[in-house]
Structure 1
Amino acid sequence: MLDLTYEAPKPKVIAGAKHDWELVIGMEVHAQVSSRAKLFSGASTRFGAEPNSNVAFVDAGMPGMLPVINEGCVALAVKTGLGLKAQINLHSAFDRKNYFYPDLPQGYQISQLYHPIVGEGEVLVEMGEGMARKVRIERIHLEQDAGKSIHDMDPAMSFVDLNRTGVALMEIVSRPDIRGPEEAAAYVLKLRQILRYLGTCDGNMQNGNLRADVNVSVCRPGQYEKYMETQDFSHLGTRCEIKNMNSMRFIQAAIDYEARRQIAIVEAGGSVVQETRLYDPDKNETRSM
Structure 2
Amino acid sequence: MPDPNPRSGASDPGEPHGLTTTLVVGMEVHVELMTRTKMWTSAPNVAHPDFFDAAPNALADPVVVALPGTLPVMNRAAVEMSVRVGLALGSEIADSANWDRKSYFYPDLPKNYQISQYDRPLCLGGSLDAGTPGAPRPIRVTRAHLEEDAGKLMHELPAAEQHLADESNEDVSFVDLNRAGTPLLEIVSEPDVKTADEAVVFCERLRELVRHLGVTAGVMQRGHVRFEPNINVVIRDADGTEFKTPIVEVKNLNSFKAVRGAIEHEHRRQVDQWVRDGKVMRPGAKATRGWDDAAMVTTVQREKEDAQDYRYFPDPDLVEVSVGEEWLAEIRASQPELPSARRSRYAELGIKQADAEVLMAEPSACAYLDAVLDAGAPDAAKAAAFLLNTAMQAANAAGTDLAGLGASAEQTAGVLKLLASDQIASSSAGDLLETLRGTDAPAESVAAEHGLLLTDNADELDAWVAAALADPAMAPAIEDVKAGKKKAIGALVGRVMKESGGKANPKKVAPALMQRLG
- TM-score normalised by the shorter chain: which range applies? 0.7 to 0.9
Aligned residue in 2 for 1:15: 14
1:276 and 2:275 are equivalent in the alignment:
no
Aligned residue in 2 for 1:115: 120
Query: Given residue 253 of structure 1, which amino acid in structure 2 is its aligned partner?
Result: G
Q: Return structure 1 stretches of 4+ with deviation > 6 angstroms.
A: none
1:63 and 2:81 are equivalent in the alignment:
no
Any idea what SS the aligned residue of 1:76 has? helix
CA 1:235–1:33 in structure 2 vs 1: closer, same or farther (change >3 Å)? farther
Q: Which of 211, 214, 219 is the aligned partner of 2:226?
A: 211
CA–CA separation in structure 1 for the residues paired with 2:243 and 2:44: 46
CA–CA separation in structure 2 for the residues paired with 1:126 and 1:178: 11
TM-score for the superposition, normalised by structure 2: 0.50
Deviation at 1:13, TM superposition (A): 5.2
1:33 and 2:33 are equivalent in the alignment:
yes
1:267 and 2:279 are equivalent in the alignment:
no
Structure with greater proportional strand content: 1
Higher alpha-carbon deviation: 205-214 or 148-157: 148-157
Aligned residue in 1 for 2:148: 144
Aligned residue in 2 for 1:90: 95
Deviation at 1:199, TM superposition (A): 1.0
Q: Which whole-Å deviations, capped at 9, do the CAs of 1:82-116 have from their partners, x for residues lacking one?
A: 01010000110110011111111111100001111
TM-score for the superposition, normalised by structure 1: 0.88
Query: Given residue 190 of structure 1, which amino acid in structure 2 is its aligned partner?
Result: R
Work out the percentage of aligned pairs sharing the same amino acid.
38
Query: Given residue 257 of structure 2, which amino acid in structure 1 is its aligned partner?
Result: R
CA–CA separation in structure 2 for the residues paired with 1:236 and 1:24: 10
1:178 and 2:177 are equivalent in the alignment:
no
CA 1:236–1:84 in structure 2 vs 1: closer, same or farther (change >3 Å)? farther
Structure with greater proportional helix content: 2
Deviation at 1:203, TM superposition (A): 1.7
1:169 and 2:189 are equivalent in the alignment:
no
Q: Which whole-Å deviations, capped at 9, do the CAs of 1:13-58 have from their partners, x for residues lacking one?
A: 5433121211100010000112111010111112220111111211
Any idea what SS the aligned residue of 1:268 has? helix
- 5 Å-filtered alignment, 1:191-210, equals 191-210=206-225
Of the two, which has the highest radius of gyration? 2
Count of residue correspondences: 266
Could you tell me which runs of 5 or more consecutive residues in structure 1 were left unpaired when the two chains were aligned: 1-11, 223-233
Aligned residue in 2 for 1:231: none
Q: Which of 261, 284, 307 is the aligned partner of 1:253?
A: 261
Kept in 1, the 8 Å contact 2:151–2:179? The answer is yes
CA–CA separation in structure 1 for the residues paired with 2:122 and 2:243: 30
Higher alpha-carbon deviation: 82-91 or 150-159: 150-159
Could you tell me which runs of 5 or more consecutive residues in structure 2 were left unpaired when the two chains were aligned: 1-10, 46-50, 158-164, 302-518
Deviation at 1:221, TM superposition (A): 6.3
Aligned residue in 2 for 1:227: none
CA–CA separation in structure 2 for the residues paired with 1:90 and 1:99: 29
Any idea what SS the aligned residue of 1:126 has? coil
